[in-house]
Amino acid sequence: SNIELVYKMKWIVIALSVLCVYCFVGIDGAAKDRQDTLQAFQPLKKAGGGKVQRKLIAGESELFVALQSELILSQEQYVQQTIDDESNIRNALEQADDTDCAGFVATATDSLMALGGISFSNCVAMIDEEMFANLYPSTSNTERQEYAKASMLTALRGLNIFTEASTIRTKLEAMLTAPIAIDGVSTTVQLSSILRSALNDCLIAARALLKQSLGGAYTQADTICTQ
């Protein structure tokens, strides 16, 4: 239900807030090349991708794949905004006089990016659950397995767009090359609208918190580390 989606979204934001307390625990401090991150969405954007899908599946299954593709691609703008924020921090760190301070901020930024990826992934998982629950009201194990085989959202669950982009791209390419048709499901206009809205709300909330945290890192890089 919509109420359940709101509560789930709130818990995702709360969880990310708690995790941010630990953002300064070191992971690899080297700046990441984010080109792979944006390339992860390419399989869904290739000109011939939709045509291939329509040849292999038809009817409701085609609409199912189209909706899932749209939902996954809706992350792209928030991912790009986050990469831009990270780039601003890296650029500021290049001007830093205090190398110890710069290293600390760089490590914290890596942690924040990883946490942001977890938050975006949680939004995808939430929508995947909601989509399954609406398409299969009985939610039996057999139906869950059938849905999972065809669902790109399920395939991406638990994967971090900022640290596992190549895995995401590989999974999408595999599923689009040989999509699995599912029978007896109806992706209605109303359901599509609900899922789009809920995912967008979740991504906006996650992005807002991440923007605030990365903004703090930028301030540190631009002021504290340059004194």
Give pLDDT tens digits for 109-130.
999 999 999 999 999 999 999 9
pLDDT of 161 higher than 80: yes
CA dihedral 73, 129, 146, 153 (to 10 degrees): 20
Mean pLDDT of 149-178: 91
Q: Given its phi and psi angles, is residue 139 left (phi above 0), alpha (psi -120 to 50 degrees) or beta?
A: left
More confident residue, 226 or 213: 213
pLDDT of 198 higher than 70: yes
More confident residue, 24 or 226: 226
How far is the C-alpha of 191 from the C-alpha of 200, rounded, in Å? 14
Domain range holding 67? Answer: 34-224
How far is the C-alpha of 31 from the C-alpha of 86, rounded, in Å? 9
pLDDT of 154 higher than 50: yes
Q: Is residue 118 part of a domain?
A: yes
**Would you place residue 3 in the very low, low, confident or very high pLDDT band (cuts 50, 70, 90)?**
very low
Mean pLDDT of 132-137: 84
Q: Is residue 141 part of a domain?
A: yes
DSSP 150: H
Q: Is residue 185 part of a domain?
A: yes
More confident residue, 22 or 177: 177
Mean pLDDT estimate for the chain:
80
How far is the C-alpha of 179 from the C-alpha of 77, rounded, in Å? 26
Lowest mean pLDDT among 94-103, 109-118, 182-191, 197-206: 182-191
Q: Is residue 3 part of a domain?
A: no
Q: Is residue 25 part of a domain?
A: no
Q: Is residue 59 part of a domain?
A: yes
Q: What's the confidence (pLDDT) of residue 137?
A: 79
**Would you place residue 22 in the very low, low, confident or very high pLDDT band (cuts 50, 70, 90)?**
very low
The tally of domains found in the chain comes to: 1
Q: Is residue 10 part of a domain?
A: no
How far is the C-alpha of 169 from the C-alpha of 150, rounded, in Å? 16
Q: Is residue 19 part of a domain?
A: no
